């Protein structure tokens, strides 16, 4: 069975769109309360629980769904939503193309502290006052989405940007840092993440990334550990393991093929690497994750 959110998909009045907004009640009714399977999309997903409870598994890590919590899921992430009966809340879906068409710069999303596509993605807790303010933006998106206004998507884009800015203001990536060190650290972290995403299947050593970013390995590791709470080496290896898990579950490739795709020439080395990080052999992980 396809997942219950994707069954509704980025569609409106039977046509594909680059933005959609649904109530959790609508999704639950459409799926007859049946939980979805692990899946991945090529678009962004925001899940805002009003009273919903249950669990949300993102990239094989489980988080509780609780009232007044917001989840942010990036394109390519594997997730599964399991809610208790009669959930209430909102689900917002939008594609990268939607951002481009509505003059929302790609860097805007990457500079937010909300969409963490390869690290921990815990939900954001909002208080009652913030919930009311965010719901003003949600109402604006919802009304525009169901309108016939010829500039409906420009209106939605404006409200979406305000919604994301307000959520971002609730986060603190570098608590206690002065503004100059915050900006320097944020720039280096974002550059490092970008280069890892481009090169992780080829470069497995921290020095390669440090050379590319014109810093020393020690300084790069210090900044990454301070902001992301993991070493630069662990960040690179976590990205490799995450992709290995995704390929294990969503492809029929052998462990040898996956290892080769991820830059490991020796299958036995990759097999050992995979088990050391996951605690499972490749076949054991596949069986646990698909049952």
Residue-wise pLDDT for 108-137, tens only, equals: 887 788 887 666 778 999 998 899 999 999
* 185/147 same-domain check: no
Question: What is the arithmetic mean of pLDDT over 223-231?
Answer: 86
Six token digits for residue 194: 């970008």
CATH number at residue 258: 1.10.10.60
Question: What is the arithmetic mean of pLDDT over 222-239?
Answer: 90
CATH number at residue 141: 2.60.120.280
Residue 181 has pLDDT above 80, yes or no: no
Among 68-72, 180-184, 197-201, 210-214, the range scoring the smallest mean pLDDT is: 180-184
Question: What is the arithmetic mean of pLDDT over 162-187?
Answer: 66
The pLDDT confidence band at residue 215, using thresholds 50, 70 and 90, is very high
187 versus 213: the higher-pLDDT residue is 213
Residue-wise pLDDT for 7-52, tens only, equals: 456 655 555 668 999 999 988 887 766 667 778 788 899 999 999 9
Residue 105 has pLDDT above 90, yes or no: no
Query: Is residue 174 situated within a structural domain?
Result: no
> How many domains does the structure of the chain reveal?
2
Task: Note down the domain range covering 91.
Answer: 4-169
């Amino acid at each position: 069975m396809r997942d219950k959110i994707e069954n509704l998909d980025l569609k409106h009045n039977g046509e594909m769109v680059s933005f959609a907004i649904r109530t959790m009640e609508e999704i639950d009714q459409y799926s007859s309360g049946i939980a979805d399977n692990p899946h991945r999309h090529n678009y962004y997903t925001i899940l805002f629980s009003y009273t919903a409870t249950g669990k949300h598994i993102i990239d094989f890590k489980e988080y509780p769904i609780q009232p007044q919590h917001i989840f942010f899921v990036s394109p390519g992430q594997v997730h599964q939503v399991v809610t208790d009966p009669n959930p209430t809340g909102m689900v917002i879906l939008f594609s990268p193309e939607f951002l481009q068409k509505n003059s929302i710069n790609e860097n805007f999303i990457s500079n937010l502290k909300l969409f963490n596509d390869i690290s921990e993605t815990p939900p954001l807790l909002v208080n009652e006052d913030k919930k009311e303010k965010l719901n003003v933006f949600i109402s604006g998106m919802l009304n525009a989405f169901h309108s016939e206004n010829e500039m409906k998507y420009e209106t939605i884009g404006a409200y979406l940007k305000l919604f994301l800015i307000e959520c971002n203001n609730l986060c603190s990536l570098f608590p206690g840092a002065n503004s100059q060190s915050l900006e320097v650290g944020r720039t280096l972290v974002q550059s490092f993440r970008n280069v890892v995403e481009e090169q992780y299947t080829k470069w497995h050593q921290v020095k390669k990334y440090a050379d590319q970013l014109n810093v020393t390995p020690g300084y790069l590791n210090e900044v990454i550990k301070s902001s992301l709470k993991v070493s630069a080496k662990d960040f690179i290896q976590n990205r490799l393991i995450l992709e290995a898990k995704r390929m294990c579950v969503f492809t029929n490739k052998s462990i040898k093929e996956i290892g080769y795709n991820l830059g490991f020439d020796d299958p036995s080395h990759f097999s050992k690497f995979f088990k050391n990080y996951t605690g499972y052999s490749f076949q054991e992980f596949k069986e646990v994750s698909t049952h």
